[in-house]
Chains A and B, each alone.
Chain A
Amino acid sequence: ILNVEQSPQSLHVQEGDSTNFTCSFPSSNFYALHWYRWETAKSPEALFVMTLNGDEKKKGRISATLNTKEGYSYLYIKGSQPEDSATYLCAFYNQGGKLIFGQGTELSVKP
């Protein structure tokens, strides 16, 4: 059974703090790793699709790294803002077409 784990489950930080969280996934049959940002009552928003070992992607203050050999990805947020508060989901994609999600990390940024 393919399992994707995220940690921590929740994170509370102050505005301006930098933060990071982890996604671990099976290292075999890897095709891609997706990161989504999900605000309550909105659609999950795609952040990154990462495919190559050693990949680093950046979007504004958010960046992500990928290690397919050991099966983990880190998501970093630099200088967190209250509008970054959301649940961050990672999902493993193994060429079968379906995404297998982690349980998400709920980030709360206090002003």
Chain B
Amino acid sequence: EPEVTQTPSHQVTQMGQEVILRCVPISNHLYFYWYRQILGQKVEFLVSFYNNEISEKSEIFDDQFSVERPDGSNFTLKIRSTKLEDSAMYFCASTWEADTQYFGPGTRLTVL
């Protein structure tokens, strides 16, 4: 069964460094999402992406964040200058249309 994959599973970085989190959505899906969960808190929406552009973003998704679908298969989330409060589990999700979103296993980002 097709699945969403994410790499790396765990990323440790120093404050101020750039990180890129990678996702490979299910191949025929058209809508892509990033969510995050800070430890002990709710899963929060970050951004949705459709037709090669951002369709919606949350207040969290400020100028430090960007998303890209560079080659038609990968979907990346870049954080330009990480802060301590960016430490969280980041989930990628994809869907064919406005229906069930399929989630990857997440990347745990630790900012020191």
Contact = CB atoms under 8 A, between A and B. Distances in A.
A93 B35 CA distance: 14
A98 B100 contact: no
Interface residues of A, number: 25
Nearest to A36: B103
Contact of B100 (A4, A31, A46, A100): A46
B106 A43 contact: yes
A101 interface: yes
A44 B44 contact: no
A44 B103 contact: yes
Interface in B18-61: 31, 33, 35, 41-45, 48, 50, 55-56, 58
B45 A95 contact: no
B104 A99 contact: no
